[in-house]
């Protein structure tokens, strides 16, 4: 056979053989490379997650609590995220993010080859790993499915996942998934939640400057935090604006205006800080019923009975009332000093500072300097100066009151945007207050304050504290009398009396140490006379009185001893307040409730609660008792409330040694209870009665709560008949103990 090379010159034959060998070698190398690459891809992709799962993917979402008007009052979440749709993100935000993070997002198929090549070249030059070339799709793949490490292995997986995501989803879908998933600092995930956190507005309403600020955060949420590093955040924001200008997304004039804007934040208040005790009570219930995972990740919507406006009024009333109490008892000092405890003054952070302060609010601050006639203080990002006039009530000089490093308590008079504040010095000696307000018709808890400061004490004095109720227990005694045929104009003898008991004689006294002789039941209750209440309780039987209290919803175990009639029993504020709502409700008790409805993430109703009602006493008895409790306000111990421009009724309560001060009362539409005292049950001080310590708080709340509302009128009681014998039969239990309650 003739050779292919026999007619060719020897040199050309050698050249062709060499080229053939080279081509063959190249084919072998290419095959090896392709085989190795294929093998690597098989190795790196065998454990890739299924992208199909994204079709049903739902990120962890916030469970939100709403008030009666649909306003957010609290939330539970592991990640602070509000899931939004593509159209919920302002076009200017979409443009800003694409310009700075992925200019070709709407063109590429998941990866940007030239960016990868460029980034790889730079990293080889610097000796680093492949990085800085991720598209939005690749970032989404990493955030959803992969670890944050920057290894070659992870980069390959990220690239393959990005290609799969692009094949299955549209660009708007990919953008939406990314925009809801990305971390943007301070526990916030997603641009909708970030917009609400940093600017207190939805993402659809962002300006160019605001959108650019948020778009700059994914690169480094901590590094470019506008809270912690405003200078860096400003530079990064302007870089984003320039990128938008280069891409033709905004005009030069618009870019210049945006760059000239100051870094202005409108941080959202933590919704949980408005009614923390109410929110905590709701959380416990939800977790017990639905489980912690569902509550913190399931995106539930919880509709509650709380009213934001009433809650704000309640918060202010309690804090103002406690401040007034503190001033009545003078400066006590004994301030904590962080310097003396060996802490760094500049690094100190108080829990109060986690919440954005408001004018007329109260906050703990640290004294940064103190001298003759002037002290400077700091709380959060605000600073203030206190002069001698601001501490005049203490009757001491500033340099003797405050020292560098002291933690003091302030009332905020005003706040300015430059971080300056006007304040007045107050005192926190440990006195506590609690308030509960209930809608008479629905039983809905409209407002609840469980203490002075949730950050310092999570103990809920509205629902968890059992305290002696003093004379606010007496209405149960009079209810038992009226319900068994008594009449408010019947008489009883107010005179010295001794009850013989198995443990010895019991000789009670009235608060003022005086006796009025023959008086009507109406006056005896209005003036909170102790002797008549004990005689009446003895007459109808203390066990019968306790039975009535239990019918009203009191679940605390009440011992069958006569002093219980004067309020030696320990009851929670919530139960006492709910019980009083029976009177304006014509004898019907509506079980108090926090939640009206709960829906899941898809909007399906999980539970819906309606008023739970129960007959307690007759309409006749309820209306007579309402008129008698109205007399307490018009002519009795609660007379200070007579000046309110709407009808109210109620009862004061004070315990021995002034350890507990109460006022529980109602209008035709709402019942409210207030308690003031110390946790350790020590005296509030001489003459700190329910009328003096608790009633002003109650009046302040009711005035604000009933403003611009139709308060309605109480129903008139029917004509009454019958009498109550003046001579009483003494109830003599085996043991007779308890306090001699006063008012």
**Catalytic residue positions, numbered:** 101, 471
Which three-class secondary structure state does DSSP give residue 680?
Answer: coil
Q: What is the DSSP letter of 355?
A: S
How far, in Å, CA of 427 to CA of 701, rounded?
A: 22
Evaluate whether 163 touches 110 at the Cβ level (below 8 Å): yes
Which three-class secondary structure state does DSSP give residue 640?
Answer: helix
Evaluate whether 742 touches 468 at the Cβ level (below 8 Å): no
Q: Would you say the C-alpha torsion 417, 418, 419, 422 has a positive or negative sign?
A: negative
Which three-class secondary structure state does DSSP give residue 228?
Answer: coil
DSSP-assigned states of every residue in 549-570: HHHTT--S---S-GGGGGT-SE
Helix axes 171-181, 136-145, angle to 10 degrees: 50
How far, in Å, CA of 296 to CA of 281, rounded?
A: 15
Q: Beta-carbon neighbour count of residue 676 at 10 Å?
A: 28
Pairing state between β 420-426 and 382-387: parallel
In the block, which residue shows the tokens 């004294």?
367
In the block, which residue shows the tokens 């207190």?
200
How far, in Å, CA of 329 to CA of 326, rounded?
A: 5
Contacts of 544 (CB under 8 A, 6+ apart): 480
Evaluate whether 694 touches 659 at the Cβ level (below 8 Å): no
How far, in Å, CA of 61 to CA of 125, rounded?
A: 43
362: alpha, beta or left? (left if phi > 0; alpha if psi -120 to 50): beta
Which three-class secondary structure state does DSSP give residue 280?
Answer: helix
């Amino acid at each position: 056979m003739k050779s292919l090379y026999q007619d060719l010159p020897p040199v050309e034959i050698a050249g062709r053989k060499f080229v053939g060998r080279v081509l063959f070698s190249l084919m072998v190398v290419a095959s090896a490379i392709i085989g190795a690459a294929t093998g690597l891809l098989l190795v790196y992709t065998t454990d890739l997650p299924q992208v199909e799962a994204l079709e049903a993917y739902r990120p962890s979402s916030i469970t939100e609590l709403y008030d009666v008007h649909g306003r957010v009052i609290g939330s539970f979440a592991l990640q602070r995220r509000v899931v939004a749709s593509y159209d919920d993100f302002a076009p200017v935000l979409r443009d800003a993010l694409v310009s700075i993070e992925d200019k070709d997002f709407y063109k590429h198929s998941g990866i940007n080859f030239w960016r990868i090549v460029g980034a790889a070249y730079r990293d080889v030059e610097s000796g680093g790993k492949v990085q800085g070339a991720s598209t939005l799709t690749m970032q989404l793949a990493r955030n959803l499915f992969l670890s944050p490490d920057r290894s070659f292995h992870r980069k390959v997986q990220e690239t393959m996942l990005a290609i799969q995501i692009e094949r299955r989803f549209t660009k708007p879908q990919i953008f939406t998934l990314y925009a809801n998933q990305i971390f943007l600092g301070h526990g916030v995930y997603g641009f909708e939640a970030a917009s609400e956190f940093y600017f207190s507005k939805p993402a659809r309403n962002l300006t160019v400057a605001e959108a650019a600020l948020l778009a700059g955060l994914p690169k480094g949420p901590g590094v470019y935090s506008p809270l912690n590093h405003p200078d860096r955040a400003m530079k990064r924001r302007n870089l984003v604006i320039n990128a938008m200008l280069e891409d033709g997304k905004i005009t030069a004039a618009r870019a210049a205006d945006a760059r000239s804007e100051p870094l202005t934040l409108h941080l959202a208040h933590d919704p949980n800080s408005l009614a923390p005790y109410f929110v905590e009570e709701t959380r416990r219930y939800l977790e017990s019923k639905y489980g912690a995972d569902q509550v913190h990740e399931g995106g539930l919507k919880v509709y509650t009975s709380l009213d934001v406006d009433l809650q704000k009024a309640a918060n202010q009333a309690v804090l103002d009332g406690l401040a007034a109490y503190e001033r009545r008892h003078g400066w006590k000092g004994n301030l904590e000093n962080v310097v003396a405890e060996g802490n760094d003054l500049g690094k100190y952070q108080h829990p109060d500072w986690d919440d954005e302060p408001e004018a007329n609010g109260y906050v703990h601050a640290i004294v940064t300097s103190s001298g003759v006639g002037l002290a400077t203080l700091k709380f959060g990002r605000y600073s203030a100066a206190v002069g001698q006039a601001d501490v005049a009530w203490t009757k001491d000089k500033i340099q003797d009151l405050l020292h560098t490093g002291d933690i003091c308590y302030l009332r905020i008079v005003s706040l300015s945007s430059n971080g300056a504040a006007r304040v007045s010095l107050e005192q926190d000696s440990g006195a506590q207050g609690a308030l509960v307000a209930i809608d008479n018709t629905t039983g809905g808890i409209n407002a609840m304050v469980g203490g002075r400061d949730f950050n310092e004490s999570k103990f809920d004095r509205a629902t968890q504290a059992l305290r002696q109720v003093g004379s606010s227990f007496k209405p149960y005694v009079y209810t038992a009398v009226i319900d068994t045929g008594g009449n408010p104009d019947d008489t009883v003898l107010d005179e010295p009396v001794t009850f013989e008991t198995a443990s010895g004689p019991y000789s009670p006294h009235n608060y003022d140490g005086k006796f009025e002789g023959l008086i009507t039941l109406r006056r005896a209750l209005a003036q909170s006379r102790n002797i008549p209440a004990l005689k009446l309780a003895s007459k109808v039987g203390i066990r019968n009185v306790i039975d009535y209290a239990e019918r009203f919803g009191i679940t605390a175990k009440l011992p069958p001893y006569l002093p219980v009639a004067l309020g030696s029993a320990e009851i929670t504020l919530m139960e006492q307040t709910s019980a009083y709502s029976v009177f304006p409700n014509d004898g019907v008790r509506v079980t108090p409730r926090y939640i009206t409805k709960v829906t899941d993430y898809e909007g399906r109703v999980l539970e819906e609660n309606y008023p739970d009602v129960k007959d307690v006493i007759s309409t006749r008895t309820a209306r007579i008792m309402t008129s008698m409790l109205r007399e307490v306000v018009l002519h009795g111990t609660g007379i200070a409330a007579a000046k309110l421009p709407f009808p109210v009724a109620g009862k004061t309560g004070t315990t021995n040694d002034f350890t507990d001060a109460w006022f529980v009362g109602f209008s035709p539409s709402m019942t409210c209870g207030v308690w003031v005292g110390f946790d350790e049950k020590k005296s509030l001080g001489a003459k700190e009665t329910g009328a003096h310590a608790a009633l002003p708080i109650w009046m302040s709340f009711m005035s604000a709560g009933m403003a611009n509302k139709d308060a309605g009128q109480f129903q008139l009681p029917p004509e009454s008949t019958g009498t109550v014998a003046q001579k009483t039969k003494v109830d003599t239990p085996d043991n007779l103990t308890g306090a001699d309650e006063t008012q």
